[in-house]
Amino acid sequence: MIRSVRGLALLASLAGIYFLAGKLGLSLAFVNVSATAVWPPSGIALAALLAFGYGVWPGVLIGAFLVNLATAGTVATSLAIAVGNTLEGVLGAYLVNRCAGGHNAFHRSENVFRFAILAGALATMVSATVGVTTLQLGGLARWSNYGAIWLTWWLGDAGGVIVLAPVLLLWSRRQLLRWTPVRLSEAAALLACLLLVTEVIFGRLSPFANQNHPIIFLCLPVVTWAAFRFGPRETSTTVLAISGIATWATLQGLGPFARYAPETSLLLLQAFMGVTAVTTLVLSAAVSERREAQAALRVSHDQLERRVEQRTADLARTIEALNAEVLKRERMGQELRQNELRLRTLVESIDDVAFEFDEQGTTLNIWTRNESLLPRPKKELIGHPAGDFLGQESVRSFLEAFVRVLQTGTGETIEYSLDLEGGRRWFLGRISRVFSANGSSGSICLLLRDISVRKQAEESLRNLSRRLLQLQDEERRRMARELHDSTAQVLAALDMQLSVVGGQAARLDPRGQAALQESFVLAGRATREIRTLSYLLHPPLLDEVGLHSALEWYVEGFSKRSQIRVELQIRDELPRLPHEVEMAVFRIVQESLANILRHSGSPTAQVHLQCRPGEVVLELRDQGRGMDLQVPGNINNHVPIGVGIAGMKERVQQLGGRLLL
């Protein structure tokens, strides 16, 4: 609904124009005072609804109500007729918007037909049916005249929609006028011909005046001229001009239609002008489409010529570049052969072993300076499957990696051992896919490096770490025993002596009593701290009742000391595990919670422990800051980590497990 001042002014203007046009149309009513064969308001209403939107319907309703109320009938009949007129316009606008291109209905010939059928023929039946039925029910017409009144009403509304609405819609669009002197001269000639033809058909000075010969067809060349040489806007304007002149002349008793009664004359005239309007608008739209197609064809032709010229120039440059590329490829071929020779010499000069396989896994070439790294002579391996040089335990993992490289194109790293003449040797291999120069699939390359020395060093390092952890646990056990058996006993004796002194506290002055009381507190605190420290170094519960109780004791004490709420969850019944396993789990929990306290800043922590067949799963979580994002999830990667995490990793690896962050 339009509510702005500008909108209200538009509604008022529309209602006023509708009222004046309606009074003009009803002045030509003959069969009934409310039914006329000339009804311009139907075209005005449809054009307004299409141009300004459905929100202007109140202006149509008000104008229709006032024009009917000022003509004949009661408020009720006038309102009913006004509702029918409004529904006609709204329905016509909806159908045109939905099916005929809306405001642009006159630029395509098929849309012109749809406009004429939907808005000109179907929608106008609503107003005719509602209006005539209202007249009958209101006692303003006889039922015997229902058909004649309905036909008059329908033709009048259809004529207004088909003849007047296109003119209003086309001229309401802001279209740039390009009137050259030649075009202005042609327009003036068209106007002169229009006046001359209408004078011949309808004029008093015509040789055919008062003879009413059927020469209305003489106007067809004029509207055809407008359709071919101008456009839909000028064509619809020409039709409207002829319709206006013909209507005036027919009412004056002039022209081919004046031989009949006034009502019949106007009905025939409206039918003729409606058919003429639809025909010429379709013709004009078809001509416009043809012009657009020709313009598009000219543009396409020009573009095609430019593309041909461009492609010709591109082809010449391509041929020139191709010649240069051929020479370049020849030079590159020579350089490639030289590089291949240098590469072969380089590969054969190093201690590593390089294999080349085809996609079926057959060995194509082997390069190495040290054939002692091969299980058999090189000539016995070439032409055989890739797995022939591996031990049985390594074939499966190698073939799986080989298939993944074929499928993904991404390199894979493998590690395996072989029993050679000098003993067992360890190798680190990298499987990569080699592509040809044109990007097509080539071969598979395997580069092997002897890492036996590194493996021996790693084994020695693991043994050393294992021994260090054992010494660490033994030292903790010894320190815990010394604290319990020595320091704790001294503190107990001190507490007993303080108790003896406490018996004589009454003899001391207030200052001495306060010092004695503080000594009791300090001795008790020292005893508790020594006991706690002894238990943390080596909890006796771990040996006596097992891991479950030891973890519950430690978690409870840690929560009290650190104010971090720790949730311990041990799924199912936890059996007694080997001592080294229980000790490793306890130490990992101890170290992890200490890291949370020192580094995380989390107010909570969760410890989940689960014993499955053949394995123990320990998971610790917190809500703190976490580690650097550069540290990946696999702790086995070579990433700098803290001493605590390294210790946990070593404990887990000694038990054949994995530590993941």
Tens digit of each residue's pLDDT (9 = 90 or more) over 423-435: 677 677 777 777 6
For residues 365 and 210, which has the higher predicted lDDT (pLDDT)? 365
2 — pLDDT class (breaks 50, 70, 90): very low
Helix axes 232-251, 165-172, angle to 10 degrees: 140
377, burial (CB in 10 Å: exposed 0-12, middle 13-18, buried 19+): exposed
Given a contact cutoff of 8 angstroms between Cβ atoms, the answer to whether 519 and 498 are in contact is yes
Local structure of 355: helix, strand or coil: strand
CATH topology assigned to domain 348-450: Beta-Lactamase (3.30.450)
CA angle 213, 37, 161 (to 5 degrees): 105
- Give the whole-angstrom CA distance, residue 382 versus residue 402: 17
DSSP label of 386: G
Residue range 153-172: mean pLDDT, rounded:
87
Residue-level pLDDT at 21: 86
Measured between alpha carbons, how far apart are the two ends of the chain, in Å?
A: 65
Alpha carbon of residue 118 to chain centroid:
40
**Token duo for residue 93:** 């606008």
Residue-level pLDDT at 87: 92
Task: Report which residue type is found at 556.
Answer: E
- Give the whole-angstrom CA distance, residue 271 versus residue 265: 10
CATH topology assigned to domain 1-175: Arp2/3 complex 21 kDa subunit ARPC3 (1.10.1760)
- Average pLDDT of the chain? 76
Given a contact cutoff of 8 angstroms between Cβ atoms, the answer to whether 30 and 260 are in contact is no
Residue range 528-552: mean pLDDT, rounded:
68
Residue-level pLDDT at 636: 47
Given a contact cutoff of 8 angstroms between Cβ atoms, the answer to whether 617 and 584 are in contact is no
Residue-level pLDDT at 203: 65
- Give the whole-angstrom CA distance, residue 298 versus residue 273: 37
Q: Report whether pLDDT(650) > 80.
A: no
CATH topology assigned to domain 545-661: Heat Shock Protein 90 (3.30.565)
Report the candidate in 455, 466, 457 with the shortest Cα–Cα distance to residue 652: 466
The DSSP code sequence of 554-589 is: HHHHHHHHH--EEEEEEES------HHHHHHHHHHH
389 — pLDDT class (breaks 50, 70, 90): low
Residue range 594-607: mean pLDDT, rounded:
84
- Give the whole-angstrom CA distance, residue 307 versus residue 303: 6
Q: Report whether pLDDT(209) > 60.
A: no
Tens digit of each residue's pLDDT (9 = 90 or more) over 480-501: 565 555 665 666 666 666 676 7
pTM above 0.85, yes or no: no
Residue-level pLDDT at 489: 63
Residue range 402-407: mean pLDDT, rounded:
76
Residue-level pLDDT at 91: 92
Most confident region among 472-481, 539-548, 563-572, 641-650 by mean pLDDT: 563-572
User: Which stretch of 272-286, 389-403, 440-454, 528-542 has the lowest confidence by average pLDDT?
Assistant: 528-542
Residue-level pLDDT at 41: 92
H or E element that contains 611? strand 604-612
Tens digit of each residue's pLDDT (9 = 90 or more) over 368-388: 766 666 766 767 677 777 666
Q: Report whether pLDDT(604) > 80.
A: yes
Q: For the chain, what percent of residues have pLDDT higher than 70?
A: 73
212 — pLDDT class (breaks 50, 70, 90): low
Q: What are the extents of the domains in the chain?
A: 1-175, 348-450, 458-538, 545-661
CA angle 127, 132, 134 (to 5 degrees): 95
Q: Report whether pLDDT(237) > 70.
A: yes
Most confident region among 54-63, 296-305, 457-466, 594-603 by mean pLDDT: 54-63
Q: Report whether pLDDT(259) > 50.
A: yes
User: Which stretch of 119-128, 280-289, 339-348, 636-645 has the lowest confidence by average pLDDT?
Assistant: 636-645
Categorise residue 399: left if φ over 0, alpha if ψ from -120 to 50, beta otherwise. Answer: alpha
DSSP label of 655: T
